[in-house]
Structure 1
């Protein structure tokens, strides 16, 4: 690089062509890129893309470096159609004129030449060239104006006397409220949803598990994301993770004291067991159709508790059927107990026994005659009395004669 700066500053190099670019910062920038390569075999398209110049410009400056004696071919590239193209290999060399101008003493020949000393007159110049070589050259930015028109200033002012805005007149007041505008329509953003990376997919699966699985709602989302990381990397859904965790036995949310540890124990190694999506679908289907899981999910809903009135009616009907099978015993009890009966002195067992006899309509009619309607209904309940009366009207053959 010291030799490159010396050639550019000495003015000794004269290009062989009259057209194309001249020696300048671009030439030094290309030489700087070549000096950074371990093996000097630069690609034309690589240098053009990195320096943001055309490929033809790169070729011009490489030719100038070769003409100046700073770059020589070691192997020339091939451009045979139909075969693999080989890049040219260069050697970075220092011209003899540089050594003679600075009084540098060398040993060896060609690319094997090495400096051994320098004359007193070249010390100052070699120091300046060393500073230039250490300084990185950067490509200058273009300073082309955004618009060729002159800027306008408020209050009908202009940047020059020839500007048409300097002599413009105010618009008519009738045009100020027209509602028209000259502003262009704002562009609509067409940006779609971003694709999640591996970490984002893990956190998404963890959030879905905490939100949708009942026994994981009290767990920490980052911890669940880390536990289910293998499933997230394999493309599992939260439903598949839940099915794998509850495959053998359901989990009651009230019994899941440490949900994260329970999940880690249940899904350990399942990403290897169900590595194929078809296997995961079969596993989810089997989990949803399992009788144990269905019973757990629908416990308390498939068989709702019967109301008290319904249970009383069922029990009364069962007692009626049992009493109707023994009409003689009911008639006998009616004859002995219907005559003198005080309902205030009866025990609970005796009251239940009388209500059991109420399955016989004849017994109920005898109690109505002996006790009256009010006390009979207090003893036997309105339901049993009304039911016996209805049966006595519809099935007269079941009523024994007294």
Structure 2
């Protein structure tokens, strides 16, 4: 790259988004980044190769890997993802490197202003880990070095409206390197290729002589065929594979878990096993719900999958024909019980959130919603007799396995306040019981 296109040391030090220089963590988000969103993978790979050429000349890291060939190979994998939500293990398998190496080079792309967080990945206990989602961005130093003129845009933060003469040569050179990724995508997706006469000068909207809809052919006026044209390109749609017996069971089980309130949170595999005979007979979720509505619902269900199995015993023989099941569904939709269920609000035992950050937000929300008492309305301190009565009730709930008072106090006021009111011994016992095993629950009924 000519030295005239490289930013000077003084300008580079003043540009926080220059490649090779670390971008602050606060500017690595789509809402705070100074970069613009890349309109396509081809343009983004041009910026990646430019950052690679510049980073090889101006290294700033004293340890760890540099912006090199592995970084470019990683960017080629990211350019093929839509949306850009990669997993570290997936990228490590594709590049045949360690997960630590992938994390290092992902950090290099973020610090160079080429990636910005849309949603940061989470890792919550008892839940599946979620990968981070990124936006492919182009730093402002790339536009300045190549003489690209930009204007505000609602879609890309800034959109390119022109290019200087000295930047055309550099765009062509970088385009040859970026074309490798584009050609690889074209082979996989089998997109129609453009002719030589339809090429457009990069970043110059006025020099394009062919409409982007040139591939669409108009119907013939001599032989009208109701808008149908035999010369129009056709696309072969992917035929969806028919579900086998096991797939139908899981599909019916998933629909029941989503629609039946007391089955919420039940593993789909157990529900699929409970309704296996009905799924094999071609039953739908509405037909199963109608059978469940024949009997009054139970007030308390300890094991939802076992309760479901008991309710459906002999149902496939009693309603063996589609006509009988259709009459049953019609009765259920017109019944008063179904009407009450459609208009019933959610009700259930509230449990404190597991994550500490969410629990803190809940405590702050409770504190903000509680009206502040006036000086003359301050509650009086409880007497010794009242305090002893409340503690005795809390101990009885703990011995019964449902310390609702203590768990509610911990969730709302915190553990320190709960210990002052109910005693340190009782509160610590409840905390140990709740954290001893995931199979032991306190303060919640099913």
Tell me the TM-score normalised to structure 1 length: 0.32
Tell me the TM-score normalised to structure 2 length: 0.29
**1 or 2 for the larger relative contact order (CA 8 Å, sep ≥6)?**
2
Larger radius of gyration: 1
